[in-house]
Chains A and B, each alone.
Chain A
Amino acid sequence: MKDSHTLKSLAVLLENNKISSKEVTSEYLKNIESGKELNCYNTISQEKALIDAEKSDERRKSQNLRSKYDGIPIGIKDLFCTKGVTTTASSRILSNFIPNYESTVTQKCGEAGLISLGKLNCDEFAMGSTNKTSFFGSVKNPWKSLNSDNELVPGGSSGGSAAAVSGDLCVASLGTDTGGSIRQPASFTGTVGLKPSYGRVSRWGIIAFASSLDQAGPITKTVEDAAILLDIISGHDEKDSTSSVNPKENYYENLNPDIKGMKIGIPKEFRSDKLPASTQKSWDECADLLKTNGAEILDISLPHTMSALPAYYIIAPAEASSNLARYDGVRYGLRVKGNDLIDMYEKTRSEGFGDEVKRRILIGTFVLSSGYYDAYYIKAQKIRSLIKSDYVEAFKKVDAILTPSTPSTAFEIANEPSDPVQNYLNDIFTVPVNLAGLPGISIPFANDENNLPIGLQLITNSFEEQKLLNVARNIEETINYSETPEKWWFK
């Protein structure tokens, strides 16, 4: 492919009739075919995408467009229910599931005329940080380290969503983020990943993992594209009782990179000797850059930061064990025959779920069980209050907080630690944001000594997505990060 498209650039090309939706959709379907080795897609909607693209071209001819972005092809994490299109959550237990309804988010994308290229691979039920827990196998990161041909993890759980954007297998994608599942893979692939405030985007029709933490959001090449896609997917939905009634803003139209007079906090608890020198350097350079651009940099403290990850690994499994109780082989999904009803349940769930999902269901069942509920579950919810109040205090002093997105850059698939807790540490910088319900964005800042992308995270107060995007846009505009992975999968 000649050019690397964005939502913004394609909207212009389509408007000026330089390209048709059918042409651009075919182009991406070709890219998907050439990039099969990356294993980004669980389902490719070849036929449907081309029909939808033709319809979009007809709408354009008859000047009956659904939006400026009508006809642009995107990818959808395989966690969003899509009517008539297999939706698996990358799990064996749902491998034959074809929903007869559409999630609110994908519905909104359709109403804006966006074309779905297919369903993107992810960790099973969004539980993982490397994409290795998918029943359909690991996604490969389009990036490779200098001097090594070994395959790298794309991050997770929205690993397919991030890798597909990075490798030009879609223009932009939808992901979900429960503890970092949009921001961490965005950081590992040099893309922009936005997790909106809890309640900003409807969760209706998204396969639930931990309902008090889950949020859907965009993975894109640019901050502008993130604003465009957030405009499309956000807003109140009566089908999700936890979706906010706060009116949404026009994020793209109101994007203003002026940060003069803003206060940016650097939390001391995120500093660590274990942080790679290149990540620390990027973090420092970004703070300097914001200062040069007119912001004031303040040292702040978020005292309970280190308690966030253990609290998360009580709360998220507890909610997961409850949410995943519905997979029992009765109403949908896999059924494995048993001697009686209980035996059927146990065999279905044992064969249908992978190891990480089982671990989390078991831990969740334990922390909710009689005798341990107060000591674990209620305790973790109290810690959650402390974490939230840390941020409430911080946002009395600052407009936004700047941190690294991840404690490392992408690592080799073969080097993934076997101890689950070691893997959980990938999300140490992103998890507090979910517990506090805040919006966070990961943007690529520079590449490290191995030429792998380093992501930085910005956090603002709840429902301050506009401010978040403005600061992110200021950084993007100043550094103009334009690194792209070499397309080694083209042979």
Chain B
Amino acid sequence: MEFDKKSLLKLGKLARISISEDKLNNLSKDLNSILEFVDQLKEIKTDQVDPTSNSLNQKLEVRDDKVDNKNSTEDVLENAPEKEMDFFVVPKVIE
């Protein structure tokens, strides 16, 4: 696998980051260098190994299903770039 212009633009779409034409060359160079570096793991045999997603051996506790008053609408909307009444405002989605 190697990143070229096309695969990079697709990745940008998936990550919702627009990549300008003038940055494509350097970015693909950087990402290919990282990919080459992590590809060394292919040498290591891991067929019999289970993956670790978290190092803590602890059962995740479930909290009681009770209503509390934390996070008021006002608090949640406080930092919104654009809001109206009790809503976040975004550009029109439906034509």
Contacts and interface: CB of A to CB of B under 8 A. Distances in A.
Nearest to B72: A100
Given A333-B81, A341-B93, A350-B17, A385 B56 contact: no
B76 to A, nearest CB: 8
Contacts of A281: none
B91 A359 contact: no
Contacts of A314: 38, 41
A310 interface: yes
A404 to B, nearest CB: 21
A381 interface: yes
Contacts of A328: 16
Interface in A368-399: 369, 372, 375-376, 378-386, 388
Contacts of B79: 97-100, 331-333
Contact of B18 (A242, A329, A350, A378): A350
A241 B61 CA distance: 6
B66 interface: no
Interface on chain A toward B: helix, strand, loop, or mixed SS?
Answer: helix
B21 interface: no
Nearest to A309: B37
Contacts of B54: 198, 212, 242, 437
A98 B80 CA distance: 11
Contacts of A339: 91
A420 interface: yes
A95 to B, nearest CB: 12
Contacts of B60: 241-242
Contacts of B91: 338-341, 343-344
Nearest to A361: B15
Interface in B15-73: 15-20, 27, 30-31, 33-42, 44, 46, 49-56, 58, 60-61, 63
A388 B55 contact: yes
A3 to B, nearest CB: 41
A268 to B, nearest CB: 18
A244 B56 contact: yes
- Number of contact residues on A: which range applies? 35 or more
A366 B49 contact: no
Contacts, number: 167
A462 B90 CA distance: 46
Contacts of B14: 365, 369
A358 interface: yes
Contact of B17 (A346, A378, A379): A346
A199 B81 CA distance: 34
Nearest to A377: B51
A421 B75 contact: no
B15 A321 contact: yes
Contact of A310 (B20, B38, B52, B53): B38
A384 B18 contact: no
B82 interface: yes
A343 B8 CA distance: 17
B17 A353 contact: yes
A310 B56 contact: no
B92 interface: yes
A244 B60 CA distance: 10
Nearest to B89: A330
Contacts of B52: 381-382, 384-385, 388
B1 interface: yes
B78 to A, nearest CB: 5
B51 A359 contact: no
A435 interface: yes
Contact of A212 (B42, B53, B76): B53
Interface centre among B30, B36, B88 (most CB of A within 10 A): B30
A381 B40 CA distance: 15
B51 A382 contact: yes
A313 interface: yes
A114 interface: no
A263 interface: no
A245 interface: yes
A350 B19 contact: yes
A331 B80 contact: yes
A436 B55 contact: yes
Contacts of A99: 79
28 contacts: A97-B79, A199-B58, A307-B41, A311-B41, A313-B38, A330-B88, A331-B88, A332-B80, A335-B81, A335-B82, A342-B16, A343-B91, A345-B16, A346-B12, A347-B18, A362-B8, A362-B27, A362-B31, A375-B42, A379-B41, A379-B42, A381-B53, A382-B46, A382-B49, A383-B46, A388-B55, A420-B33, A436-B55
Given A310-B38, A382-B51, A421-B34, 18 more contacts: A98-B79, A101-B75, A212-B53, A241-B60, A244-B56, A310-B37, A310-B40, A311-B41, A331-B79, A331-B80, A340-B93, A341-B90, A349-B16, A350-B20, A358-B17, A361-B17, A378-B51, A424-B37
Please list the 8 inter-chain residue pairs (A to B) with the smallest Cβ-Cβ separation, ordered nearest first: A437-B55, A381-B51, A332-B79, A335-B81, A382-B46, A346-B18, A382-B49, A365-B15
